[in-house]
A and B are shown apart, each in its own frame.
Chain A
Amino acid sequence: MSDSISENPSQAEEVAGDLDQFCIAGHTFQSRLILGSGKYDSFEVMRESFEVAETQCVTIAVRREKLHDSSGRNILDFVDPSRLVLLPNTAGCYDAETAVRCAKMGREILRGLENPGADWVKLEVLGDSRSLLPDPIELLKATEVLVKEGFQVLCYSSDDPIVARRLKDAGATSVMPAGSPIGSGLGVINRNSLQIILEDLKHGDPDYPVIIDAGVGTASDVAVAMELGFDAVLLNTAVARATDPIRMAEAMKYGVKAGRLAYQSGRIPMSRYASASSPEVGVISKRQ
């Protein structure tokens, strides 16, 4: 890798038959696509998108119960906790202490629902509301506390390789760097840093799960991320706010599969010059 401009070394040895399961925090998924449940125009469209995407894991947020609920509809009427593993997040928390409280609330709710996702959390500790980028110091603090409390912590992180390493060292179950800011649709904008993160976190520990979280806009972004060697993709806005969310959910399913297959297949190295596909002997032209 270091002495060539090849995107990926051959990963053919990783292919184990047809079964390409994604294992994380004691869960085994056939799908490598984790979807968020926010921003859909309706619960019905959300449910259909999850089905079409064939996702097995869905993120969910913790918020104050309304004192006087007008609609009476709860998201759980549209997300079957017996079929989908729920991954509660700490979205909207800006300091470690609040994020830890939020994580405990999510765990308490999921325990009540007997959902197997009760002991894990997508940890978000944000730095500011404009970029929604993580505050790495508070994130690390919260990770340390939650790991001690027995949580499986999946950290939404920036694309800083050193922060990623510190989170793994602190006991994070997975580090989930952003491809670009949440909901931006900019895709994978710092490929080099993400490759450093992947190499570093998986060095001597190839099964350590690294998930790209946030920023993807369309199926090709997802494929790019999977080709880099991410174990899974977590996305929300790109599906929920697409003109046709259900169709985009299907596109994302194929994007993840295409990228994963390409990663496993070992892409050709990049070269500055051409390499003819047709035989170079027996050519009738005299031109060199």
Chain B
Amino acid sequence: MIDVTINGKKQSCSEGLTIAELLDSLGMNSRAIAVEINQQIQPRDTHRQVEVNDGDILEIVTLVGGG
């Protein structure tokens, strides 16, 4: 297991997970989501290749109402 921070919250997850696998395990709707790792945006077409590493800080964001 590795430790990561997702949206400000520390969590453990399996080693070697790709971003796509992590999103699946979190049950997050991937249609309207953007992912940043260590303040670098991770384009959607890389989610199946890029793996999450120990200590990574992830932001997973979506759209909400706003002005």
Which residues in A have some Cβ–Cβ distance to B below 8 Å? 36-40, 46, 59-65, 67, 74-76, 86, 88-89, 91, 101, 104-106, 108-109, 111-113, 182-183, 214, 234-237
| A contact residues around B43 at 8 Å (CB) | 108
Write the chain A residue with the least CB distance to B7: A64
Quick check: B66 and A108 within 8 Å, CB to CB? no
Quick check: A37 and B59 within 8 Å, CB to CB? no
Alpha-carbon distance between A11 and B3 when the two chains are bound, in angstroms: 63
Query: For window 1-58 of chain B, which residues contact chain A by CB distance below 8 Å?
Result: 6-9, 26, 28-29, 31-36, 39, 41, 43-44
Quick check: B61 and A65 within 8 Å, CB to CB? yes
Write the chain B residue with the least CB distance to A102: B61
Alpha-carbon distance between A276 and B41 when the two chains are bound, in angstroms: 66
Alpha-carbon distance between A60 and B67 when the two chains are bound, in angstroms: 6
Quick check: B67 and A109 within 8 Å, CB to CB? no
Quick check: B64 and A75 within 8 Å, CB to CB? yes
Quick check: A109 and B65 within 8 Å, CB to CB? no
| B contact residues around A111 at 8 Å (CB) | 44
8 nearest A-B pairs in the assembled complex, by CB-CB distance: A61-B66, A36-B67, A236-B67, A108-B34, A37-B65, A105-B34, A38-B65, A64-B7
| A contact residues around B7 at 8 Å (CB) | 64-65, 67
**Additional 8 contacts, C-beta under 8 A, given A64-B8, A106-B34:** A37-B67, A61-B64, A63-B62, A67-B26, A74-B29, A101-B41, A104-B34, A109-B34
Instruction: Please give the distance in Å from B20's CB to the nearest CB on chain A.
Output: 13
Quick check: A105 and B59 within 8 Å, CB to CB? yes
Q: Which of A39, A113, A235 contacts B65 (CB 8 A)?
A: A39
Alpha-carbon distance between A105 and B26 when the two chains are bound, in angstroms: 19
Instruction: Please give the distance in Å from A63's CB to the nearest CB on chain B.
Output: 5
Instruction: Please give the distance in Å from A152's CB to the nearest CB on chain B.
Output: 18
| A contact residues around B64 at 8 Å (CB) | 38, 60-63, 75
Write 11 A-B pairs (CB below 8 A) sorted by A numbering. A37-B65, A38-B67, A60-B64, A64-B8, A76-B32, A89-B66, A108-B34, A108-B35, A109-B61, A235-B67, A236-B67
Quick check: A109 and B62 within 8 Å, CB to CB? yes
Quick check: B63 and A60 within 8 Å, CB to CB? yes
Alpha-carbon distance between A76 and B62 when the two chains are bound, in angstroms: 10
A67-B6, A108-B44 are contacts. A40–B65 as well, Cβ < 8 Å?
Answer: yes
Instruction: Please give the distance in Å from A215's CB to the nearest CB on chain B.
Output: 11
Alpha-carbon distance between A113 and B34 when the two chains are bound, in angstroms: 11
Q: Which of A65, A112, A183 contacts B28 (CB 8 A)?
A: A65
Quick check: A113 and B59 within 8 Å, CB to CB? no
Alpha-carbon distance between A259 and B39 when the two chains are bound, in angstroms: 44
| A contact residues around B35 at 8 Å (CB) | 108
A101-B39, A108-B44, A112-B32 are contacts. A62–B65 as well, Cβ < 8 Å?
Answer: no
Quick check: A101 and B66 within 8 Å, CB to CB? no
